[in-house]
Structure formats: C-alpha cells, structure tokens
Amino acid sequence: MSSNRLLKESRDLRAEMAKSNDPEIILIPDESNLYHWRGSIKGPEGTPYEGGTFKLDLSVPRQYPLSPPHIRFVTKIFHPNVHAKTGEICLDILKTAWSPAWTLSSTCRAILLLLSHPEPDSPLNCDAGNLLRNGDNRGFRSMAKMYTNLCAMESQASRG
C-alpha cells in the first residue's frame, strides 16, 4: 500500500513541478529507495527566510500513510521549532496530529507555513524561542536572516 501511494505522489509531484518554472517545493525519491526522499523548499516571502533554499531529508516509514514521514532540515536554519543541530522539526502533524490525508507535498506546505508563523512556546531551538517570547522580533529576524544568508542562499545551498 505505501509503495503505491508513494509512486502516485512521485508522479503527481513531477507533474506539479513541470508546470512551474520555479517551484517552491521540490521532492524527489531516492533512485534506489522509494522510502527515502530529498527535497527543498523556498523561504516564504516576507520572512527572514525569503531568498533561501532549504534542503530537507525525508524518511518515509513502511506504514505510510498511516504513520507520518520523518522530515528534517539538512540546511541550517534559525527557527524556534527546528533543532539547531539535528534539523528535527517540531510540528504537530509530524507527531500526534498526523492523518493519512496528508501527503509529502502538503506536509512540506505545512512546514512552509511554520516558517512564516513560528511557535515560540514549543521550541526546539531555545535561543530563537526566547527571542520571540521576549518580544525581540528584530533580534530574531536578524539572526534568522543571517543564517539564511550564510547557509541557504543558492551559492551556499549548492555546497551543503
């Protein structure tokens, strides 16, 4: 069941990416393992991540879509809901609120939404969470933009 679903998602994603000159989400299964995907998302406009391309690593369990994929950032990012060292993402749909209705693409859209609307009350990166909880939006945006410039801009992203 999971391999059929993943093959369908792969076909749908290829068709979606073919329609756009500059897709905001790119997901590609590993040639030798349908349960391991690589991806990238573009930083949302109006955020300190704008202009950046963030690489993702997706590990899909054999129980998918009944169980959520494991998604982590490969590109370093300064965000309260992303672990600074491991890239782990704190997002309810990746844990307790998962539903088989979610696809890999829609899950990445939820991650994009999280980039636009951080949740500082459940931080994996306490430094980022503390800046936002203490009302230091300028400090947070400055740090997030610095990380984006250093780690996620096209010239840097191609190295990482």
Within the chain, residue ranges assigned H as helices are 2-19, 104-116, 126-133, 137-147, 154-157
DSSP letter assigned to residue 148: I
Catalytic option among 90, 108, 126, 151 = 90
Q: Which residue has the tokens 């955020």?
A: 47
CA 128 distance to own-chain centroid: 17
CB 53 within 8 A of CB 154: yes
| Partner residues linked to 82 by β-bridges | 89
Q: Is 90 a catalytic residue?
A: yes
DSSP letter assigned to residue 93: G
d(CA 151, CA 42): 13
Q: How far is CA 105 from CA 17, 57, 66, 124, 138, in A?
A: 11, 13, 16, 23, 31
Catalytic (active-site) positions: 90
